Amino acid sequence: MTNPTVHPHEARVAVESACALGEGALWDDRTGTLLWVDIEGRAIWRHQPETGLRERLEVPERVGFVALTEDHDIVVAGFKSGLARVHLFGGQTQPIVAPEPDKPDNRINDGVVGPDGSLYFGTMHGEGAEATGAFYRYDGGSLSRFHGDMPVTNGPAVSPDGQTLYTVDTRARFIFAHVLTDGVPGEAQRFARFEEGWGNPDGLAVDAQGHLWVCHWGGSRITRFAPDGSVERVVPIPTAQVTKCAFGGPDMTTLFVTTAARGRDRASEPHAGHVFAVETDVKGQRSHVYKG
């Protein structure tokens, strides 16, 4: 990546959350609410920029992501133990399915809802030390494994036409593309690979033009890839561990970005763990709702 185009707008702090491991940025356009999680802090956050609402809900175990349901006050969460419904008022949980009861050291990491209402999510070894993670699809009735044997999974994200699912092998620095046929992912095809010095690919977002925005863990930026895998631009973020991004705001052109404070020096990196916002010239996709 030689002299890439740099995004013209600077990232600003949107929420001073100081998350140990902020992840899972998600915009609910129905209520104008940004949701995200603190994996190590065992919490679900939500923020309404228009009203100033900011809430932190403690949960009983590590949580990798949340997904919308038809009830605005209930989300599906990816806990260490499995998928569960969570009531945002009160925190009550209702287990749905455990993908890997035979792997007690694994946990669910990131996830997304596809156009058909199915959940796509990944698991990983708790410390990322062993290649025991895999990707799954859950349609509310059946659970199927479609890509596996990696220490740290990330993504997934779906193209606006619903034809492609992107996944990430974070340790190997690969981003993959899967053809979706009736919601079922095909074989993994290499889409892009991070170069040395970029850090590692983490969370993803796909905009309405089909471009892929990839967060750099350890790289202090986001890269926007064109559908052919070429680099279109980079977005600097003023902290190293950039974890997940999601489009939101009234016109879906604001990119919200979660970060992590784990292992960072607060004196030299005071914004680590905060949520950032970056104005863009493109629209994002509205979040799909889990139908299971």
Question: In angstroms, rounded to a whole number, what is the distance separating the alpha carbons of residues 231 and 204?
Answer: 14
Predicted pLDDT of residue 245:
98
Q: How many helices (H) and strands (E) does the chain have?
A: 0, 25
Catalytic pick among 202, 228, 251, 281: 202
Predicted pLDDT of residue 271:
96
Q: Which residues contact 284 (CB under 8 A, 6 or more apart)?
A: 27, 205, 207, 208, 246, 247, 248, 252, 253, 255
pTM exceeds 0.85: yes
Question: Per-domain residue ranges for the chain?
Answer: 12-279
Closest CA to 30 of 42, 13, 46, 14: 46
Adjacent-strand bridge partners of 69? none
Residue 270 sits at φ, ψ, to 5 deg, of -65, -20
- Return the CATH superfamily for domain 12-279: TolB, C-terminal domain (2.120.10.30)
Predicted pLDDT of residue 1:
59
Would you say the C-alpha torsion 285, 286, 291, 292 has a positive or negative sign? positive
Predicted pLDDT of residue 292:
84
Q: Is 202 designated active site? A: yes
Q: Which two tokens stand for residue 163?
A: 């034809």
Question: In angstroms, rounded to a whole number, what is the distance separating the alpha carbons of residues 278 and 231?
Answer: 18
Q: Which residues contact 102 (CB under 8 A, 6 or more apart)?
A: none
- pLDDT profile of the chain (292 residues), mean per 10: 86 98 98 98 97 95 98 97 95 96 96 97 91 97 95 97 97 98 97 97 98 98 97 98 98 98 90 98 98 88
Predicted pLDDT of residue 2:
62
CA atoms within 13 A on the CB side of 200: 16
